[in-house]
Amino acid sequence: MAAHVINEARRCLQCKKPMCQIKGCPIQTQIPEMIRLFLAGESAKAGEMLFENNPMSVICSLVCDHENQCEGNCIQGRRGAAIHIPSIEHYISDAFLDRIKISKERPKDQKVAVIGSGPAGLTVAIKLIQKGYDVTIFERMDKMGGMMRYGIPDFRLPRKILDRYQKKMLDIGIHFRPNTSIGGALHLDDLLNDGYDAVMVGTGVWRPKRLNVKGESLGNVHYAVDYLQNPEAYNLGDSVAVIGAGNSAIDVARTVVRRGATDVTLYARSKRIAASQRELDYAAADGIDLQQGMAIKEFTDQGPIFTPRIFDDEGNCIGEEAPVLRPADSSIIAISQGPKDKIVSTTHGIDVTDKGLIAVDETGHTTMEGVFASGDVVMGSRNVVVAVREAKKTAQAIDEFLTAKRDARMNSD
Ligand SMILES: Cc1cc2nc3c(=O)[nH]c(=O)nc-3n(C[C@H](O)[C@H](O)[C@H](O)COP(=O)(O)OP(=O)(O)OC[C@H]3O[C@@H](n4cnc5c(N)ncnc54)[C@H](O)[C@@H]3O)c2cc1C
């Protein structure tokens, strides 16, 4: 592994205008500089630089869409094989993770509540503890990580990495309240009444989208995000139908295969597949079948019933065939998620969009004074690196808000 990473690093041309970084990376990871430091024996400095720019660097090195991002824009890829940049980033960030030393500014005597410990919440918590704020994370689940822990399967993102993260977060002084759902016993107003000077909502999108077809509540039908939270809880049988063909649907199908199902099929409504080619290749390698042009009509105890669609050469649907039953022991619906309304329905003054996402201004401030929001709960289902990028901006806006609050308090004293 190490020799491979070194060889890859040595192939970097140190481009003056590095497209891998400028065009390829949503968070502008300093790729040539990372590689330069690494080859100069300054891995720790490279790790520090990566963490400062992207506290989820070690995770992004595993789960980003590298083919279309850094690697996809590597100039070496024009002539032959692109440099395997994520392996280099992973090697450096993984080695650095347990050694991170967070320098903190003088304590500010102001408290921030962060609701949700996905990449958005963790990024805001890290950035603000560095600024000297007292930070508490409230998390509905028992551990930190959000969809990184309870959505992305562990064969793609080992849970050990998230455990090491959690330990680090606690070591640097972030307070953590697990198993605490805001909007349940505690409401957001309670946090403000208890003296938190700002609140950041990073609760993601966890409400499975319904298909609204007959049979959706049957005992052998499940939703992807529910299943992925705890696959051990399910007894799916040998044959499983997965409805949807995006990356999440493929995560479901590959997890189901690993848990012993022998006959797993992905059913896509259209000819266009949302999943990336690499994910489709992995699904094929795992023996998962893909059926396109199958519109779900109904679920039964014997399996889902589809209406097969007929397409012309351009991929336009020009007709339908008679419905068919595809026998399956279980079905899993994997067609995306929307936001839950637990917080907004128990708080007055937080506006939402027509999709139920939290409405914010360009700084991440919601319509309620002192309450900010970031990540998927604002943008809808996106990805880790974009959640981090947006959360960095929100952390800065919270710092500015709290600085102004401090200044106003000093002026009035
Ligand atoms: C199956 C699947 C696979 C994915 N694969 C990838 C991938 O390969 N690469 C990639 O980059 N992205 C992937 N994503 C998307 C990525 O995980 C999300 O975009 C990202 O995690 C969003 O970050 P977030 O912090 O906004 O929210 P989340 O990660 O969803 O975190 C929100 C947190 O808030 C908590 N919470 C919610 N409500 C409350 C409440 N009321 N009180 C307290 N806590 C609350 C939740 O428990 C959760 O921990 C995947 C998503 C799924 C579902």
Return the pLDDT at 400: 98
The CA distance from 261 to 78, in Å, is 41
Return the pLDDT at 409: 86
Domain 111-206+339-412 has CATH 1.10.10.10: no
Residues 6+ apart with CB under 8 A from 193: none
Domain 2-97 classification at class level: mainly alpha
> If you average pLDDT over residues 46-67, what whole number do you get?
97
> If you average pLDDT over residues 47-70, what whole number do you get?
96
Tens of pLDDT, residue by residue over 343-385, are 999 999 999 999 999 999 999 999 999 999 999 999 999 999 9
Written as one string, the DSSP assignment of 32-89 is HHHHHHHHTT-HHHHHHHHHHH-TTHHHHHHHS-GGGSTGGG-THHHHSPPP-HHHHH
> If you average pLDDT over residues 256-269, what whole number do you get?
97
pTM (global) more than 0.75: yes
For the cut 90, the answer to whether the pLDDT of residue 3 exceeds it is: no
Q: Which two tokens stand for residue 100?
A: 């991170």
More confident residue, 411 or 45: 45
- Asked if 342 contacts 182 with a C-beta cutoff of 8 angstroms, the reply is yes
Is residue 176 within 6 Å of ligand 1 at its C-beta?
Answer: no
Q: What's the 338 CA to ligand 1 centre distance in angstroms? A: 11
Return the pLDDT at 4: 86
Looking at 83-214, list the stretches that DSSP marks H as alpha helix, in order from N- to C-terminal side: 85-97, 119-130, 147-150, 159-171, 188-193
Tens of pLDDT, residue by residue over 122-166, are 999 999 999 999 999 999 999 999 999 999 999 999 999 999 999
Is residue 139 within 6 Å of ligand 1 at its C-beta?
Answer: yes
Is-same-fold flag (111-206+339-412; 209-337)? Answer: yes
Return the pLDDT at 413: 74
Q: Delimit the domains of the chain by residue range.
A: 2-97, 111-206+339-412, 209-337
What kind of fold does domain 209-337 have according to CATH?
Answer: FAD/NAD(P)-binding domain (3.50.50)
For atom 16 of ligand 1, which residue has the closest CA?
383
Is residue 384 within 6 Å of ligand 1 at its C-beta?
Answer: yes
For the cut 70, the answer to whether the pLDDT of residue 2 exceeds it is: no
The CA distance from 99 to 114, in Å, is 24
Tens of pLDDT, residue by residue over 154-211, are 999 999 999 999 999 999 999 999 999 999 999 999 999 999 999 999 999 999 999 9
Q: Which two tokens stand for residue 229?
A: 């939270």
For the cut 90, the answer to whether the pLDDT of residue 314 exceeds it is: no
pLDDT band at 277 (very low <50, low <70, confident <90, very high): confident
Q: What is the mean pLDDT of the chain?
A: 96
Q: What's the 206 CA to ligand 1 centre distance in angstroms? A: 8
